A and B are shown apart, each in its own frame.
Chain A
Amino acid sequence: MDKKFRVHIEFDQCKACGRCIIACPRKILALGKKLNRQSYPAAYQAKDGCIGCGACFYQCPEPGAVTVYEIVEA
């Protein structure tokens, strides 16, 4: 069975630099409309289809903004 992944971008930790968005091979990330606590329109996973490549994680300059999860079926 194919592995499934999901990316979580911590709303208040994103500085909306856009690096993850241009790096994502599946183009599933986007900047939001709402401003976070630091006044940035944080990025979020806008579509399904994450392949867990980690590009967004390594491109992001913030230590804890991006987490990529592998979904393990019960």
Chain B
Amino acid sequence: MKEMVKFGKSPVFFDKFTRRPGPIQDNMHYCPGCGHGILHKLIAEAVAERGIQDKTIILAPVGCAVFAYYYFNCGGISVSHGRAPAVGTGVSRSTPDSCVISYQGDGDLGAIGFNEFLQAANRGENMTVFFVNNTNYGMTGGQMAPTTLPGQITTTTPYGRDVNTEGYPLKVCEMVDALEKPIYIERVALSTTANIMKARRAVGKALDNLKAHKGFSLVEVLSGCPVNLKKSAEDMNRFIDENMTKYFPLGCFRDRSAEVEEFVPEYAPVHDPEEVKSILFPRKLNIGVSADFRNESDIFRSERRIKIAGFGGQGILSLGIMLATMGKLRNFNVSWLPSYGPEQRGGSANCSVILSREKIASPIIDGECNLLIAMTSTALEKFKGELKPNSVLVYDSSTLERPDVPADIKVLGIDALNIAREIGNVKCANSVILGALSVVLVDSYLQGDDKMDFDRAFEEAIIDSFNNKPEVIKQNLYAFYEGKKAGAKCFKHGISGNIDKKANDDALNEIIKADNFRDSSTDL
């Protein structure tokens, strides 16, 4: 006797569900009788039948279906609450030959993410949305959802949903039907077998549209949440068929699939990591950094906590980014925490940068600063109190008076704005400061061969920041080396400090030696 499987587990599901360790690897996490599982099976079957498993990307929402990507052997992205249509827009636009399924609950789609969903529907994004309407927030324990029926008891409507205060349930299909672009809108129910078979056809139709990239399809699925609604399988089905369908009538609201032509995307996605990198970072310039350069070095054995402060438009935040990028290139753990007002220009701005060999517990510096860069007098006044003993203060002496700080704090006044002006771009003042900073860092913490490498790390950071603009990079590199000279001069001329004077001078001489300053123009 031989037998043949007539109905069985879809190949689009993983063989084993490895979400949790232990012996139970064949079951999904849903409660007994949950509609999510039934819909998952319909989707898996339809994906398999259409041969689109490799192109399908399922967006798993926040809600009970949050682990959907553990079950479907397709592409999967876990998205934040209500944001699936936005993420789906990005995915389907950047890889137009993918088949994007947005799987969302009624809290996810109808409450926190309703605007995003409606806007995506209105734009007619190329995706299919499966909207699971189970009249409550399942995952969080049965609170009222936008779809909760009038009079329905939930944990947050213990006397039943009162339409006078909570309004009426959202009729999502009807609302989407008021928009021009969606091509297919249908409401189905997972109750009787006949209804499940209709749902199966609707899922199939929506995935036909998806496969042909025809546009936006919505299938609303009235689904059981027997656990939160405290119902047996029989009562759950009855509730769906008698109560829910009264308010949410089943049926097809719109089907324009036949009128819309199949769309064949010309774009083929790039999977070669090198190519992806070259698209994301299209910079052509490369200052020949050797491979082992990125290895760990001993500089900064202790954590550096750096505060950079001034006003918006001075390049405060980008100075921080350059510093952090330099740290990243040297395999430090880095953090960069900006703080600024709503203005793009003007207004105060500051950022905190931490470079550390250890894990960084918090990006907040709070009174534990080893290095302060102040570009305005307000910034100076505000933050100088945060400097620890034996720390360093760098300020822009073009605009600021030499500040009054305790004697154990090393002070460097750098004529940043004037130097930048001479270079021909006042916006480079931050790179001048960066140059001076490199002297401070080199002087205090650097050993041996690291010095040249260290400059290269800064160069790379500058190139990174100004991505593909050779002229700007050139100016900033120039500014960096001018700043370095200024910093070195400043160090040499009797700046108070507690470091070994002789070693300091030797290091300085080495730095100042003209050939140690690479002419930035030669590399470009």
Contacts and interface: CB of A to CB of B under 8 A. Distances in A.
Interface of A: 5-6, 10, 12-13, 15-19, 22-23, 37-38, 40, 52-55, 57-74
Contact of B7 (A13, A22, A68, A73): A68
Contacts of A15: 27, 31-33
Contacts of B32: 15-17, 40, 61
Interface stretch (B110-118, B133-141, B192-200, B477-485): B192-200
B5 A67 contact: yes
B247 to A, nearest CB: 23
A64 B33 contact: no
A69 B234 contact: no
A72 B32 CA distance: 33
B26 A13 contact: yes
B58 to A, nearest CB: 14
B4 interface: yes
Interface string B9-48: 1100100000000011011101111111110111010000
Contact of A58 (B9, B24, B38): B38
Interface residues of B, number: 40
A61 B37 contact: yes
Contacts of A67: 5, 7-9
Contacts of B24: 12, 37-38
Contact of B71 (A52, A60, A63): A63
B196 A68 contact: no
B43 to A, nearest CB: 11
A61 B34 contact: yes
Contact of B4 (A38, A64, A65, A69): A69
Given A18-B232, A38-B24, A63 B37 contact: yes
Contact of B44 (A6, A13, A63, A74): A63
A27 B220 CA distance: 30
Given A63-B41, A64-B13, 11 more contacts: A15-B27, A17-B233, A22-B237, A38-B27, A40-B32, A58-B197, A61-B34, A63-B28, A67-B7, A69-B3, A74-B1
Contact of B33 (A17, A54, A57, A58): A17
Contacts of A71: 1-3
Interface string B180-209: 000000000000110011001000000000
Contacts of B40: 61, 63
Contacts of A53: 193
A62 B28 contact: yes
A72 B233 CA distance: 34
Given A17-B33, A64-B26, A72-B3, A59 B8 contact: no
Contact of A59 (B34, B38, B44): B38
Listed from nearest, the 4 A-B pairs whose CB atoms lie closest are: A61-B37, A17-B33, A57-B7, A15-B32
A60 B197 CA distance: 13
A52 B4 CA distance: 11
B26 A10 contact: yes
A63 B200 CA distance: 15
A57 to B, nearest CB: 4
B487 interface: no
A61 to B, nearest CB: 3
A12 B26 contact: yes
30 contacts: A6-B3, A10-B26, A13-B26, A17-B226, A17-B233, A18-B234, A19-B233, A54-B7, A57-B7, A58-B196, A58-B200, A59-B38, A59-B193, A61-B30, A61-B36, A61-B37, A62-B26, A63-B41, A63-B71, A64-B8, A64-B26, A66-B7, A66-B8, A67-B5, A69-B4, A70-B5, A70-B6, A72-B1, A73-B2, A74-B1
B74 to A, nearest CB: 14
A57 B27 CA distance: 15
A65 B30 CA distance: 14
